[in-house]
Structure 1
Amino acid sequence: MRNLVRIAPGALELGRPLPWNVYDADGNVLLRQGYVIQTNSQLEQLFERGRFEPRKIERPHEEIFEDARERNPFADYPDLLHALETTLNAITEGDPSAQKQLMGLSRMIERTCSEAPDASLALVHLYSIGPNILEQTLFYAILSQFVARQFGLEEKRISVLTAAALTANLALVPVADQLNASNKLLTDDQRNVIQKHPQRSIQALQAAGINNKLMNTIIAQHHEQADGSGYPQGLSGSDIRPEAEILALSERYVAMITKRAYRARMNVADARRLIATLGDGKFRPAIPRALLQVLGDYPPGILVRLDNNEVGVVTSRPLRARGPFVQAIFGPRGNRYNGTFERDTSLLEFNIRALEEPEIMPSMDFSRIWGFRT
């Protein structure tokens, strides 16, 4: 029997894919992960009737996550976010198991990215409209994984970078969502919190018994810039670790494609063009180049219009002379398909014509579209 609880007001938002399945009181699925709530009346009905299955993680994360299951980033998404929240809380509280939890979560993310790379990248884009600080942090870790491998870092350094990406903004967690939701100028106190968050995050890690020299350096430097204009020390050039630059660029890309109260989100094409300019003084040129190679022209999870006028979601990056592949969701006349149809965009009739940026994302069954068993 499922342990189902009511959905708390504020847990769901209009225009944003559901992060988990929604059930009725008897345990029947009402809506699957990826469904997008379109109206306030739908939202009210879900708060009245809907239930979800809360996550209970009682053992260290590496024991829970290191199993033989097929890695499905969409099904794992709630678990990853819950594990991240409990890990950051453990660090803040000085829990003796904090380091074990952080390493277990880092390995889980590494394994997920390795076994399901396109779906892992799709998570970043499907949930990028208005992510909270925990979601953003998870996205930083995912992108850092891919960029680091493309850049050529060895595995041991990538593992440390993953842990750094998960904890570099620990000191910002209590205020980040509030800052992102505000369209007012920062106060002096808020600027002070932002300027000092790398060192305060390191202090929290050390107090919890986590004291890796490389990890501390990555966190301390992830807001430095190659031209010396960063903070807190104004480092420049090769004084900045490449791992710190990879994390910084991952954070910047997520910020570009995320909607904030004070600005609209940037589409992927514009974000790519801006990234291409960052190798001119802000970063080592090879790092923006690595991110662009990871994303491709049309990264997984974005919507595109094809030459036959269908609209679909990109599910994979190009492979040799083929792709990227798209699952068509809407027909040429705007009718919603009953199911989806795979399109190889290297074929003339299915060439990608343009990016699609609807005001509200269409509902999708993510696991089914990416071919995972449900």
Structure 2
Amino acid sequence: MTDLVRIAPGALTIGRPLPWTVYDTDGNVLLRQGYVIQTNSQLEQLFERGRFKPRKIERPQEEVFEDNRERNPFADYPDLLQALETTLNAITEGDPSAQKRLLGLARMVERTCTESPEATLALVHLYSIGPVIYEQILFYAILCQFVGRQFGLEEKRISVLTAAALTANLALVPIADKLNASNTILNEEQRGVIRRHPHRSIQALRDAGIDNKLLLTIIAQHHEQADGSGYPKGLSGTEIRPEAEILALAERYVAMITKRAYRNRMNIAQARKLIANLADGKFRPAIPKALLQVLGEYPPGVLVRLENNEVGVVTKRPVRARGPFVKAIFGPRGNRYTGTFERDTSLLEFNIRALEEPEIMPSMDFSLVWGFRS
């Protein structure tokens, strides 16, 4: 297969699901998307022998591009990350295409969320153990899409909010991964960089010819807090745009469920409890409530143990009186199923008993688990 390319060092990490299927030089499948690399020797072999097939990405255009492909967020995930990196680089470099790229990328995220909502929300939880900065930014945009709609924002404001989520941390991109990997207390210089990043991100957007007033306001205010304790201006109450609060909450939630060098990640129950507490002064109450409604008690992508002792992954949030729905991947005795079996957790024998909190996510072919065609 001539369209296969070598895997770059650093693209794969032990303990994280593969973002794409890996082939050998003859085009034979070595490991499927969703497989979790377990050892250093596996990793070295993949760098030596492995190849992957990059998908051609249409350059985002200002006019609507009619793409009738079925949305598969798991197949689209590497493309979205690549498009995000390209877009942020274009903004930083003042490329004339920056605004078109940003608008196109925001539409890509919107389409993925609206056409495959359960699988898209699952991305945030399946890849949240140790995401790089581009993944975190993509998660912010995904959550803003869902929470913005639940909160009742009109479509135009959701589109601008999505663009803000994709660019608000532009100034932190060069240092974010290093900060997350550090277990030392931030020094004054690092704290200064963090506090100045909204202004620097705004300046980069303006220099690239992107001057949407609402977009820049959301970025400027996304670290303000309703009780006046935020920065840079110490705004409070209704002085802060709801879009800015939605973005701030998306960032907080991703931080909660993400493992850092200096602390462990929270499970979904712990995160939900903390989000509920944020309604008391830090945010207008309707925004944490909207996020909790979006997530449900068990959002797609989390692992759970059922009453019959099976372990599975949540694939769909509750529908009316049924669900959430789970695809069982391990049997009651811990044996790995060759396929998956859908369980309606509203049935007594399949009630959810507990959350499972693996340090390494079990290998799964995500596309097949969610029922997408390979």
TM-score range, shorter chain: over 0.9
Task: Tell me the distance in 1 between the aligned counterparts of 2:66 and 2:90.
Answer: 20
Pairwise mapping of residues 1-374 of structure 1 onto structure 2 (< 5 A)?
1-54=1-54, 57=57, 59-60=59-60, 66-374=66-374
Change in Cα spacing, 1:347 to 1:313, as seen in structure 2 (3 Å) is same
RMSD of aligned Cα (Å): 1.3
Structure 1 residue 359 displacement after superposition:
2.4
Task: Tell me the distance in 1 between the aligned counterparts of 2:137 and 2:108.
Answer: 15
Task: Tell me the distance in 1 between the aligned counterparts of 2:61 and 2:31.
Answer: 28
Contact 1:17–1:35, Cα closer than 8 Å, also in 2: yes
SS at match of 2:304: strand
Task: Tell me the distance in 2 between the aligned counterparts of 1:129 and 1:66.
Answer: 34
SS at match of 1:338: strand
Task: Tell me the distance in 1 between the aligned counterparts of 2:34 and 2:66.
Answer: 26
Contact 2:60–2:105, Cα closer than 8 Å, also in 1: no
Deviations 1:305-343 (A, max 9, x none): 000000000000000000000000000000000110000
Task: Tell me the distance in 2 between the aligned counterparts of 1:236 and 1:336.
Answer: 52
Contact 1:150–1:290, Cα closer than 8 Å, also in 2: yes
Contact 1:62–1:108, Cα closer than 8 Å, also in 2: no
Task: Tell me the distance in 1 between the aligned counterparts of 2:206 and 2:309.
Answer: 55
Deviations 1:268-318 (A, max 9, x none): 100000000000000000000000000000000000000000000000000
Contact 2:24–2:49, Cα closer than 8 Å, also in 1: yes
Long gaps (5+) in structure 1: none
User: Which stretch of structure 1 is more off in the superposition, 155-164 or 45-54?
Assistant: 45-54
Deviations 1:41-71 (A, max 9, x none): 2112211211122455473356896411011
Deviations 1:200-235 (A, max 9, x none): 100000000000000000000000000111111111
Aligned residue pairs total 374
Contact 1:106–1:162, Cα closer than 8 Å, also in 2: yes
* % identity of equivalent residues: 84
Look up the equivalent residue of 1:225 and give its one-letter code.
Answer: Q
Change in Cα spacing, 1:370 to 1:63, as seen in structure 2 (3 Å) is farther
SS at match of 1:96: coil
SS at match of 1:206: helix
SS at match of 1:326: strand
Task: Tell me the distance in 2 between the aligned counterparts of 1:166 and 1:363.
Answer: 29
Q: TM-score, normalised by structure 2?
A: 0.98
Structure 1 residue 27 displacement after superposition:
1.4
Task: Tell me the distance in 2 between the aligned counterparts of 1:70 and 1:2.
Answer: 25
User: Which stretch of structure 1 is more off in the superposition, 10-19 or 320-329?
Assistant: 10-19
Task: Tell me the distance in 1 between the aligned counterparts of 2:144 and 2:62.
Answer: 20
SS at match of 2:33: coil
Q: TM-score, normalised by structure 1?
A: 0.98
Change in Cα spacing, 1:24 to 1:251, as seen in structure 2 (3 Å) is same
Change in Cα spacing, 1:61 to 1:299, as seen in structure 2 (3 Å) is farther
SS at match of 2:17: coil
Contact 2:171–2:198, Cα closer than 8 Å, also in 1: yes
Change in Cα spacing, 1:342 to 1:102, as seen in structure 2 (3 Å) is same
